Structure 1
Amino acid sequence: MMRRMLQAVDWLSLYLPVLLMGLLALGTWWLVRNAPTPLVATAPKVAADQPDYSMKTFAVKSFDAKGRLQSEVQGDTARHFPATDTLEIDKARMRSIALDGRLTFATSDRALSNADGSEVQLFGNAIVTREAVPARQGASAQPRLEFRGEFLHAFTQEEKVRSNQPVQLTRGSDRFTADAMEYNNLDQVLQLSGRVRGMLMPGGTAAPK
């Protein structure tokens, strides 16, 4: 009898750790299987016509792959709309820098810009100004160019400005007005449509093509 008890004790001492490990593993598996699924925190959905965030007295800069500053957008208040990834800006002030260093400025009561600032719509007292460019080797000088209107659509990287509403164009000392306009600075082509009027000052610069 004593011998059987000793054999039982030896058996337990040999296999008890294995049994305990098995029970522990089984218990762990059961807990994982039956544990309640954690609730995933989900951000509240924002309506398509509602901003997901806003900024006050801000400045947003855009750089190219080489770290060169391409554009800068400032304003009193901005609202971001995630559905279209656009930025609506009150009292907008913008600056664009071309590859050759030419500066273009834009201001308006309200502006709507895409994510990288390459396309900007200006509403109310809209002004787009390209600073004068001095003569360089192989290139003639370009006078200061300014567009004014209640609506201007600017493409900063393509250097285009267009409008389907009345505009005023000042180039150097010359002035033009029209009901609609499209201007391509890279090609130096200006298209005016509707009621077009022009005032060329003596000694002024030649009108664009």
Structure 2
Amino acid sequence: MAITLQKRGDKHQINLSKEQKVQLKVEVNLNWNSGETKSTGLFGKLFGGGAAAAAPDLDLGCMYELNDGSKGVIQPLGNNFGSLTKPPFIFLDKDDRTGGAADGENMAIVRPDTIKRVMVFALIYAGAKDFRTVNGRMHFKMSNGEEIKLELNNPGENQIFCAAALIQFTEAGVVMTKEERYFNGHSAADNHYGFGFKWTAGSK
């Protein structure tokens, strides 16, 4: 049975031995409503319907810090999909641009013994002005059988970036915290979490 983190600051801790932490795999899923509705404005009524509204394009990603001090970003922007066979041992499977994929977007984290922290985020790249209409939700599955769910259900107006969860890998195991903090972009979120990246505009 999955655990649901309801509000910001809710935590779930998984105690693991050193050997268990090496073998642990964390799978992260982002899903959202495709929002395929037709226009019902004046011209839609006159001509029997309108063009379908553009489907929201959400991106799953993360900012990470490894135990050796190196840091980076995994996200579709810039084609930074990562790797499971070399650092950072984080991999994003695809860029679902319409919300039409039944399984959304998925990210896997392995070798958590090498990782200090991962801030998992969702970004609205196009198709919606904020998270109020997309019904964003995340599902975390651990290879030890534990599952954690959280919904992005307290969105800010005109804020396209949601720092959804913070995963910290400690000597005792894994601590996951629901963040659900909304920002106007990567840089503002980075200022809050202190990764210290230099940001430039990007496109897909």
Higher relative contact order (CA 8 A, sep 6+): 2
TM-score by length of 2: 0.24
Larger relative strand fraction = 1
